[in-house]
Structure 1
């Protein structure tokens, strides 16, 4: 376990997560504000294995963790902690069936505590402007808007947020 919230466990991905990971990464609604590109089962299997291998690399700067519901150990999404140049970036995705249940807010609250504990001094998050729910979550935790731009990958207006811990 990496850390936990009241209802969630954040842990390393495992091969047994493949079906749920594929459901997440092949849903166009989930990826609408991220990459925009759904992947096949085989592509997701390759990606999952690559993410798992990164846990053992000494200079890994791209951590993707599983988000699991405590009550039934069901995979509900992923959490990203990514070294992006000088910035430590956060991101998360939830399976569509778990949207609107307050999990993202709960996750962010404990994620900020965790990041502070491991010595991260500043976090950034990138949110497509149409994704109002994610913008509200970052703003609730005092992230400040620092830059507006058109995303390179999905060509939508996006905002970079920043928070000093």
Structure 2
């Protein structure tokens, strides 16, 4: 397997740049209707997933990249389990995470959310962070409620539902 740049680590997880070799697991995650139900509303096809993976990888070579999407892998077996991101948001940088369905409920969401916040504040020196959770996505709402981010408001989302907005400011 090709090596990629390490971004940060948590107790059980490593966050690194995405690789072409990640496509099979990336596609499994992105094509799963359950995984994608609160973002795109449905799983994405192979062509779109190849395009998205390529786009994420190409962003690493841009010197002023503000669209950072990375692979999440388990330290114990180097298994790709999802993606996480710090991307340019409408007002403030936004954090996000997504996991293959077979890794739901293992506590990885809380671990990666806290890791992203720590990395954004301490390594990227960001002054603000935002996160959004569809109110129907109970797992993400619980994760963000337990995080250092504070609930600030409810807003309509593209799925015709409501998002909770969470924010951290220096």
Tell me if both proteins adopt one fold, taking TM over 0.5 as the criterion.
Answer: yes
Report 1:7-26 matches (<5 A): 7-26=12-31
In 2: Cα distance, 1:156 partner to 1:163 partner: 23
In the alignment of these two chains, the number of paired residues is 164
For structure 2, the 5+ residue unaligned runs are: 1-5
Question: Match for 2:38 among 30, 33, 37?
Answer: 33
Instruction: Report what 1:162 is aligned to.
Output: 167
| Whole-angstrom CA distance in 2 between matches of 1:125 and 1:157 | 13
Structure scoring higher RCO (CA < 8 A, sep ≥ 6) equals: 1
TM-score, length of structure 2 as denominator length: 0.91
Task: Tell me, in whole angstroms, the C-alpha distance in 2 between the residues paired with 1:116 and 1:149.
Answer: 25
The reply on whether 1:144 has 2:154 as its aligned counterpart is: no
Unpaired segments ≥5 residues, structure 1:
none
Deviates more, 1:114-123 or 1:92-101: 114-123
TM-score, scaled relative to structure 1? 0.94
SS of the residue 1:84 aligns to: coil
RMSD of the alignment, in Å? 1.2
Cα distance in 2, alignment partners of residues 25 and 103 from structure 1: 18
Match of 2:3 in 1: none
Rounded Cα–Cα distance in structure 2 between residues aligned with 1:30 and 1:94 = 7
